[in-house]
Amino acid sequence: MTAALGIIQLLTAQLAAFLALLLLASALHKLIRRDRTREVVHEFAGVSRRLAPFAVMMIAAAEMISAVLLWTEPYRVAGGLLAALIWGGYLSLILRAILQGRRDVDCGCSFGATRRPLGVFHVTRNVVLAGAALLISGGSAAASNNPIVASQILPALALLALYGALDQVMGLTPPRGGVLL
């Protein structure tokens, strides 16, 4: 039983490291590509052009704060809850756009230049990310946590690279007669 708990704690710390890096990368992406992000905030989220720069800064700050909290063992529960709130907010905006028939709106969900209509992939991705953040919060609250250690940075970076690769693959145009999610 204690061995299983130790493995769960280790995996929770590893997942927290990945989500922290993903949130940090997302925040930096928003700040580096501010003009695109302001336009996304206006078109996708419906924030006025006047308030869009402020909204971009607040969203990026929330992502950075969540990343730091996830990385810091005593605050991992709060970081996981904030991350789940962030991804849940993105999910609600994606669902709203789909229900309004605005599947072609740019959600700013991709790190790269590729873009595809909103659909099952975007919804599933945000459900999985929010669920992982909640899992971290629940696992962190239930047991004493393992801190994120240097040896977990490389696997977290590898997961981030796989995430980016999946993001790019999902942005490809499906082959003739083929279907991508």
Say if residue 59's pLDDT is above 80.
yes
With vertex at residue 87, the alpha carbon angle to CA 180 and CA 48, rounded to the nearest 5 degrees, is 100
| Number of domains, the chain | 1
In a domain, 177, yes or no: no
In a domain, 181, yes or no: no
- Rounded Cα gap, residues 112 and 20, in angstroms: 19
Domain holding 95, by residue range, is 2-168
State the pLDDT confidence band at 77, using cuts at 50, 70 and 90.
very high
In a domain, 117, yes or no: yes
Spatial contact of 41 and 165, defined as CB atoms under 8 Å apart: no
Its pTM stands at 0.84
Q: Residues 137-162: what's their mean pLDDT?
A: 71
- Residue 29 neighbours by CB under 8 Å, 6+ apart: 37, 111
Q: Residues 28-52: what's their mean pLDDT?
A: 92
> Cα 2 from chain centroid?
31
In a domain, 52, yes or no: yes
